[in-house]
Amino acid sequence: MSGHGDPIPMMSRKCGPLKGEAHVPGDKSISHRSLILGAMAVGETKVRGLLEGQDVLDTAKAMRAFGATVEKKGDTWHVHGVGVGGFAEPADVIDCGNAGTGVRLIMGAMATSPITATFTGDASLRKRPMGRVTDPLALFGAKAYGRTGGRLPMTIVGAADPVPVRYTVPVPSAQVKSAVLLAGLNAPGQTVVIEKEATRDHSERMLAGFGAEITTMETEEGRVITLTGQPELKPQTIDVPRDPSSAAFPVCAALIVPGSDVLVPNIGLNPTRAGLFETLREMGADLTYENLREEGGEPAADLRARFSPNLKGIEVPPERAASMIDEYPVLSVVAAFAEGATVMRGVKELRVKESDRIAAMADGLRLAGIEVEDGPDWWIVHGRGHGNVPGGVETVSHLDHRIAMSFLVMGMASEKPMRVDDGSPIATSFPIFEGLMGGLGADIERV
Ligand code: S3P
């Protein structure tokens, strides 16, 4: 899907306490990876709890185009994989819609097979840099022909005789790391990826789960990940945990709406993903982990978030950025309701997400009466404290689901309602957002 649907203007206004349980959908990162690795295994992988957001549905469609069978029976998704190196050449252009993760991981997965594929996406995805992925894929022997600046649409000619690579990822990006690892699957010998800052490690964990030989060593250079190529991946049964990045929205809403008490059950707290919750607690949020446990080798808990009238701005440690990179937009909303400045540094990557997230949030926050300073890789939100956030403006979502949801959360507690010009991108990652928030007591409407 290329996001050609009509825009959906939305508005949220001040509401009574948010109460109840928020069952958020499956993790987007893990959902993409389940389908892609399922398609590269030999036999049938079963996936429960898959995120049925548009991003992931586009990846499912792409995997079919490369020859895998992907179908839903009852509540379970079944993926019949074609094996490492078994991808067929797609008969048409692969449209990854809004999904950076989808397109970059799939480019990696096909780059070491002797096939050619052309990729495109919606207006947001066509602006995003692909060179960060095609540079390392070229080392394997793949060729990329795209628009100026390495933009989609882009054709990848997979390497017929791939060689393994040793690659240090120049930006903190799990998508780049994962693209290299997936390409390494069909290269003979060992592919080594080095990352200076730890990013989400779902690919490493899942590759091990599918039976690949993969090790991670913490060294002075950073995390050194070594993958042995050309394994036979064994199909798996996967229970996708719920997405901490989606949990962030009901959690943050509960913290700023007076009287709220919301339970968000069963959220994965993989340390490479849980930075927001730590940050909120440091700001004085009444946010507790209940029933802390291990699930599928990862920590998980039920999150309980209660209205927190005395939030304080803090300096977010830059080394935490990768573990909460998708959560800065909604954090900046909470920061507006805190006393004092929230300082966010080391966040250059925010400028190349579905939108330039620093610009998109700073524009809307400023319009809504909040002082924001920003530079190339930092921004500071000057909070006005609870009860002093004016709101009352229309913001632009720039085809970015997290921008739309962040401003709708803001409107739940600002003095005047917040409008978003287009809430349709919310369906990429959190299709049940409106119903779920409404069920807790939020007042969101399509206008
Ligand atoms: C993701 C990695 C992150 C993140 C995105 C999902 C992934 O992107 O922002 O939503 O699943 O690997 P980068 O790798 O560009 O940081």
**325 CA distance to ligand 1 middle (Å):** 8
Whether residue 259 has pLDDT greater than 60: yes
Q: Which helix (H) or strand (E) holds 299?
A: strand 298-306
Contact predicate 74/49, CB 8 Å:
no
- Spatial CA neighbour of 428 closest among 274, 215, 245, 279: 245
Each residue of 328-359: b (16+ CB within 10 Å) or e? Answer: bbbbbbbbbbbbbbbbbebbebbebbbbbbbe
Contact predicate 430/53, CB 8 Å:
yes
Which of the four pLDDT bands, split at 50, 70 and 90, describes residue 5? Answer: confident
Whether residue 298 has pLDDT greater than 80: no
**101 CA distance to ligand 1 middle (Å):** 6
DSSP 242: B
Q: Closest Cα to atom 11, ligand 1: which residue?
A: 29
Q: Which helix (H) or strand (E) holds 335?
A: helix 328-336
Q: Which atom of ligand 1 is nearest to the CA of 245?
A: 10
> Between β-strands 143-147 and 116-120, what pairing exists: parallel, antiparallel or unpaired?
unpaired
In 91-195, DSSP assigns E strands to: 94-95, 116-120, 143-147, 151-157, 166-169, 190-195
Q: What is the rounded average pLDDT for all residues in the chain? A: 97
Q: Closest Cα to atom 5, ligand 1: which residue?
A: 101
User: Which of 27, 28, 29, 169 should be mutated for ligand 1, with most atoms under 8 A from CB?
Assistant: 29
Q: Closest Cα to atom 10, ligand 1: which residue?
A: 326
Question: What residues are annotated to the active site?
Answer: 326
User: Which of 127, 180, 200, 276 should be mutated for ligand 1, with most atoms under 8 A from CB?
Assistant: 200
The percentage of residues in the chain with a pLDDT greater than 90, rounded to a whole number, is 97
Q: Closest Cα to atom 15, ligand 1: which residue?
A: 173
Give mean pLDDT, residues 255-260: 98
Q: Which atom of ligand 1 is nearest to the CA of 177?
A: 14
Q: Closest Cα to atom 9, ligand 1: which residue?
A: 326
Q: Which atom of ligand 1 is nearest to the CA of 322?
A: 16
**275 CA distance to ligand 1 middle (Å):** 14
Q: Residue type for 71, please?
A: E
To the nearest 10°, report the CA torsion of 329, 330, 331, 333: 100
Q: Which atom of ligand 1 is nearest to the CA of 349?
A: 16
**279 CA distance to ligand 1 middle (Å):** 19
Residues 204-221 have pLDDT tens digits of 999 999 999 999 999 999
Give mean pLDDT, residues 246-250: 98
**349 CA distance to ligand 1 middle (Å):** 10
Q: Closest Cα to atom 16, ligand 1: which residue?
A: 173
Q: Which atom of ligand 1 is nearest to the CA of 32?
A: 11
Question: Can you list the domains of the chain with their CATH numbers?
Answer: 10-26+242-446 (3.65.10.10), 28-229 (3.65.10.10)
Which of the four pLDDT bands, split at 50, 70 and 90, describes residue 4? Answer: low
Residues 12-36 have pLDDT tens digits of 999 999 999 999 999 999 999 999 9
User: Which of 36, 124, 276, 325 should be mutated for ligand 1, with most atoms under 8 A from CB?
Assistant: 325
Give mean pLDDT, residues 55-73: 98
Distance of alpha carbon 177 from alpha carbon 174, whole angstroms: 5
Give mean pLDDT, residues 124-138: 98
Q: Residue type for 78, please?
A: H
Give mean pLDDT, residues 104-128: 98
Give mean pLDDT, residues 425-436: 98
Distance of alpha carbon 139 from alpha carbon 111, whole angstroms: 10
Residues 333-365 have pLDDT tens digits of 999 999 999 999 999 999 999 999 999 999 999
Give mean pLDDT, residues 233-247: 97
**324 CA distance to ligand 1 middle (Å):** 10
Q: Which residues pair with 315 in a beta bridge?
A: 343
Distance of alpha carbon 399 from alpha carbon 397, whole angstroms: 6
**87 CA distance to ligand 1 middle (Å):** 24
pTM over cut 0.95: yes
Give mean pLDDT, residues 124-140: 98
Whether residue 1 has pLDDT greater than 50: no
Distance of alpha carbon 6 from alpha carbon 108, whole angstroms: 32
Residues 265-287 have pLDDT tens digits of 999 999 999 999 999 999 999 99
Positive or negative, the Cα torsion across 368, 372, 401, 27?
negative
**30 CA distance to ligand 1 middle (Å):** 11
| Residue 6, token pair as written in the block | 């009509």
CA triple 310-407-433, angle to 5 deg: 100
Distance of alpha carbon 57 from alpha carbon 213, whole angstroms: 29
Q: Which atom of ligand 1 is nearest to the CA of 325?
A: 9
Site residues for ligand 1, CB cut-off 6 Å: 29, 101, 173-175, 178, 200, 325-326, 349, 353
Q: Which atom of ligand 1 is nearest to the CA of 175?
A: 14
Contact predicate 364/398, CB 8 Å:
no
Which of the four pLDDT bands, split at 50, 70 and 90, describes residue 2? Answer: very low
Measured from the Cβ of residue 38, the count of other Cβ atoms closer than 10 Å reads 29
Q: Closest Cα to atom 13, ligand 1: which residue?
A: 173
State whether residue 77 is helix, strand or coil: strand
**259 CA distance to ligand 1 middle (Å):** 34
